[in-house]
Amino acid sequence: MNKKITLQDLGSKGYQETWDYQETLFKDVVDLKIRNRREEVDHETPNYLLFVEHPHVYTLGKSGDLSNLLLSEKQLEAKGATFYKINRGGDITYHGPGQIVGYPILDLENFFTDIHKYLRFLEEAIILTLAEYGLQTSRSSGETGVWLDVGTPFARKICAMGVRASRWVTMHGFALNVNVDLGYFDNIIPCGIRGKAVTSLNVELGVETVDADEVKQKIQKHFLQLFEAEFI
């Protein structure tokens, strides 16, 4: 079991280019697992955690409803945004500047074989990170992600999640709003959930800008603790 994780910060990168890169890493891990099984060998499978910030883009999960995108192609273009229908779970979400997107590409057989536990660990890494900023966040029953004021009329999501897994290898991941222009969420029904707001860390803290690199450091720390892993 290889509990070492290669950490890569891709900076600002387009969605398609990043998706293609994820798919390449994902396929390499899956292919190695298939080869191990076929040849009855036991080569270590690698693990990755990618951080990235995307230009304005809306993505729709495989079970999502296109009607949750409230813009036409021309309106998308006018807003400088793109749209992709992709192969993760979940419905529609927005990625853009000021958001920390994390894509763990893990062979869960190196850690544990439980997708629900995996999602809870991703949520917990964000919950613990935000607690360091004095925010009490939690899960919302039946709604993946991290929320504030769950169970009240003021419930609002601060981190969206959607993953894909095959042969226990994961891709896609989480998107934490840190310094996001929340107006872009007005153009969708986020995650297909009506009547609930979206927020950003800087808004919750009442500041103009939060240090995104500091947030990433905190996410990394909690991610490693939860998965009992180390970065290489």
For the annotated catalytic residues, the residue numbers are: 191
User: How many whole angstroms separate alpha carbon 225 and alpha carbon 232?
Assistant: 15
- Closest Cα to residue 137, out of 120, 121, 155, 122? 155
Residues 133 and 211 sit within 8 Å (Cβ to Cβ): no
CB contact burial 22-45 (16+ within 10 A = b; e otherwise): beebbeebbebbeeeeeeeeeeeb
Residues in binding site: 88-95, 160-162, 173-175
Sign of dihedral through CA atoms 63, 67, 71, 77? Answer: positive
